[in-house]
Amino acid sequence: MSWNRIWHQPYALMSLLILFWGSFTAVSKLILQGLTSWQMQFYLFAWAMLALAAMLPFRGRLLQLKRLGVARTVRLAGYGLLSYLYYVVYTASLKLVPAVEAAMLNYLYPIAIILFAVWFYREKLTAAKWMLALAGLAGTYVIIANGQWTGMMLTNWQGDLLALASAVCWGLYSVLTRRDDSPLFAAVFVYILVSFLLAAMNLTLFSEWVLPSWEVLLGVGYLGLTNNLLSYFLWLQALRISSVMLVSSMSYVTPFATLLFIVVLIGEPVSWYQMAGFVWILICVYVQKRLDRRLEGGGTHVDLV
């Protein structure tokens, strides 16, 4: 399968995205043994910025940036601020509440995407699709809680609000950028540039500048190029060519991918609760795919491109 064909297949794009997102937690745990969160964020966006700068001279990309204009650049910078806030508030929530609790609230972002799509674009969603969204969310909670249902108790209202805010930030960013018709490279360049500048400012204000070891540098390089660069392209393209419901339902697979990377890199085991949650999410994605095909065949599917 050629890359051009993959680029127009939402299932292929989301599969790559889930792979990248799934590796974030496990690799971050290893990196944070040698860096603070502010330092890690700076190096993540620094790697992404360096890669974009290397790509800039080719295929008319510099001209794309020049043609954006002031108004559009300011709008894209606002979107970039939203995406950066997601990283900031989610990291802050992890300091105040257990990781299980923060993750469960953060994974409300697919629901936030659906709600914002209905609010801003009046996308029509059937009761069946709402049920599928909630069913996917239930499967996510099973994976994260791992049968420890007491882990679903809310322990700190400030941390919980921050975790919820991260879901709102990513949901709002995703829906607003979905209708944006800016060239994809130019849009991602502005998003990454804003995040890089903010990360540098926060590092200066709240931490200290350090040169990490080469092992840590490779780790942040991997995350910077996958989670903080390629993931932007994949996510925005998937949103542009697919329905909100399909992208949201596939996002629920991410917690299980995260678990697999933790198993491989850190050695934590997988329970049957988590396997059951994963199978349940796959069933929801399959049913969602059948619903999308049926609606497309009937000519009633509303796609926000």
Q: Establish if 40 belongs to a structural domain.
A: yes
Q: What is the mean pLDDT of the chain?
A: 83
Which tokens is 165 given?
A: 């805010």
- pLDDT tens column, 219-251: 999 999 998 899 999 999 999 888 787 788 788
- The verdict on residue 17 lying in a domain is yes
Q: Is residue 303 part of a domain?
A: no
Distance of alpha carbon 78 from alpha carbon 256, whole angstroms: 32
Q: Are 246 and 289 contacting, i.e. CB atoms less than 8 angstroms apart? A: yes
Q: Which domain holds residue 220?
A: 3-298
- Provide the pLDDT for residue 172: 94
Confidence band for 183, pLDDT divided at 50, 70 and 90: very high
CA atoms within 13 A on the CB side of 200: 9
Q: What is the mean pLDDT of residues 81-106?
A: 81
Number of domains making up the chain: 1
Write down the pLDDT at residue 282: 81
Structure tokens at 110: 């697919």
Domain presence at residue 29: yes
**Three-class SS of residue 234?**
helix
User: Residue 225 falls within a domain, yes or no?
Assistant: yes
| CA separation, residue 300 to residues 31, 126, 292 (Å) | 47, 11, 10
Asked if residue 164 belongs to a domain, the reply is yes
Question: Which pLDDT score is estimated for 301?
Answer: 35
In a domain, 212, yes or no: yes
| Greatest pairwise CA separation for the chain in angstroms | 58
Q: How confident is the model at residue 302 (pLDDT cuts 50, 70, 90)?
A: very low
Tell me the mean pLDDT in the region 127-132: 74
Q: Does some domain include residue 304?
A: no
Whether 112 shows a pLDDT value over 80: the answer reads yes
